[in-house]
Chain A
Amino acid sequence: MTRLRRRLVAGLIVAVLSVQIGFAVNGYRDPHKFFAFQPFNESSTWQADIVRVTWNGERVPISGGWAGYEWDELVGMAALRGPGRLRHAYMGVGATVDFLDDALDWVATHTPNDHETRYFEATVMTFENTRGPTMTLLRSIERTVP
């Protein structure tokens, strides 16, 4: 191996391992722990009451669907399905609540047949490794006037 190639290879190895260690350290800050390899980190649980707040101020639970939409079909990912029952937050409470917050925005902007809803609101109850409950209120962005 030439000196130049050896330096390039050494640089590549150091760079790759540094990035991986960087992600591992970042996992202590990032609720999602992306690429941090910290699996099964919590036994936490969560449950959310999600409602649609309509333009006339009604608060309508999303269970049972609305305007041809179903929450579970819209969110897809298993971690956010069935929010009405207490479930294991297998990604961790922080990641679950963060995803739920973003999912509310996504649902608000990807349901064109819904002409009633002004915004979505989720009252989230979490138990972090048996401790709790902690209540969090999440609200989607406001939809445009139909």
Chain B
Amino acid sequence: MSGVESHTIAGPAPALERRSPLDAALDWSGSVRAVAVLRIAIGPITLLHLRPFLRDALDGISYDDQFWEPFIPWLPHVPDRMWFAMLWIGAAAAVLMAVGLWTRVATVTTVVVVAANLLLSQTHFRHNRAFLAIVLGGIALLPAGRVLSIDAVLRRRRGRPTLPDVAALWPLWLLRAQVCLVYLASGISKLVDPDWFGGLVLWDRVVRYQHVLEPTPLPGWGVDLLTERWMYYAVGPAAVLTELFIGVGLWFGRTRLAAVWVAIVFHALIEISASVEVFSYAAIATLAIWVTPSTRDRIVRVGGDAATSRAVMAFVRAGDWFGRFAVVRAGASEPLVTVVDRDGTAHTRFAAVSLLLSRLPLTFPVVAPARALASRHRRNARAMVAA
């Protein structure tokens, strides 16, 4: 491995005595790099969330110029100017959080502003806004500014020792549990509702929005099919079970990648079919919390001629947001790409490229299922030969 690339391996601290699973979970430590990626993504998403409020503020329209209702009636009335200032401070804090300058303070300020604005009036409540506040709260509890931040760059420039990207990860447990509760709460509420599970709610909504479907490139028979009642006897349960699968599947190593992929497709479909403000973006970004919190624990050895290997190394480094791979230059006679997995297995050719691309966030949605299908096909072929 290259000497310049540090790596971190997730895992509980060494056991000195017999400890309960709770203690082990509380002592769990690992890399916060994936959380730093989430922090960078959530900054612009927060700005998007604040945009309509900021637009009103620019027009001089305050929350109390229109119908509003406090969650807690006895709390003092927030003056208009204070609300305007709070929104702008929140927007500035979201930018600072994203770039990683005064990261902890900026993140705490962002979560305070988003939560305060949410709790200011019942008319401000939306599930996606509550979800955003939860995610921001989770980021605020973690030292997400230690990597991929201006704070880290400034620290290096000032000659101060670099802070390790390893930290106690109990807030990540909390955030993971909270995010799963969101999927499970939604899924269970639909599971116990016969109108939802029987497809009536989805079918009725599609029928009511048929006028939106008609101008789309969908053929007439496609629109007719989408508005057929019988189809929703299958679509309703499938939608409910998808949510429940995501809420449960994210917890287990064997199902996690599938659950992440299903979640991406699920949120993309919601974004296309419904108006959910920033929910789709926030939920997809938050899938970063399920990345194994260790970095550079797989090695990519890049061979071939100098120009090609430079291009491949640049591609991997640019796409490897979560720092999964230590990239090293191999000899010109070695294969162009060799991936050494965590268990030491070396993959070359197609296996190496597919493993590599299935772990890069931008290529994951396409390559991961293709790789899974190819792997299944190979297993079936081997079973047939053995039979």
Q: List A residues at the B interface (Cβ < 8 Å).
A: 1, 6, 9-10, 12-13, 16-17, 20-21, 24, 27-28, 32, 34-43, 45, 73-77, 80, 88, 99, 102-103, 106-107, 129-130
Contact = CB atoms under 8 A, between A and B. Distances in A.
Contacts of B131: 37
B178 A39 contact: no
B193 A1 contact: no
Given A32-B122, A37-B185, A43 B67 contact: no
B195 A74 contact: no
Contacts of B22: 10
B122 A34 contact: yes
A35 B359 CA distance: 34
A17 B178 contact: yes
A41 B196 contact: yes
B67 A107 contact: yes
B127 interface: yes
Interface string B167-190: 010100110011001100110111
B185 A41 contact: no
Contacts of B65: 76
Given A24-B181, A42-B201, A76 B26 contact: no
Nearest to A7: B26
B130 A102 contact: no
A34 B124 CA distance: 11
Contact of A40 (B174, B177, B185, B274): B274
Contacts of B200: 43, 129-130
A75 B188 CA distance: 33
A41 B127 contact: no
Contacts of B177: 13, 17
Interface of B: 22-23, 26-27, 65-69, 71, 122-123, 125, 127-128, 130-131, 168, 170, 173-174, 177-178, 181-182, 185-186, 188-190, 193, 195-196, 200-205, 208, 274, 276, 279
Q: Across the A-B interface, give the 8 residue pairs with the lowest CB-CB distance, nearest first.
A: A76-B66, A43-B204, A24-B185, A37-B185, A38-B189, A43-B205, A75-B67, A129-B195
Contacts of B189: 24, 27-28, 36-38, 41
Q: Is the interface of B mostly helix, strand, loop or mixed?
A: helix
A17 B170 CA distance: 13
B69 to A, nearest CB: 6
A74 B67 CA distance: 6
Nearest to B63: A76
Given A24-B185, A37-B182, A99-B123, A13 B174 contact: yes
A39 B186 contact: yes
Contact of A106 (B69, B188, B196): B69
A43 B201 contact: yes
Contacts of B174: 12-13, 16-17
A6 B21 CA distance: 13
A77 B201 contact: no
B125 A37 contact: no
Contacts of A13: 170, 173-174, 177
A40 B123 contact: no
A24 B192 CA distance: 13
A141 B173 CA distance: 48
Contact of A45 (B23, B130, B208): B208
- Pick the most buried of B185, B195, B200, B274: most chain A CB atoms within 10 A of its CB: B185
Contact of A36 (B170, B173, B185): B185
Contacts of B279: 39
A6 B23 contact: yes
B178 A20 contact: yes
Given A13-B170, A16-B174, A34 B125 contact: yes
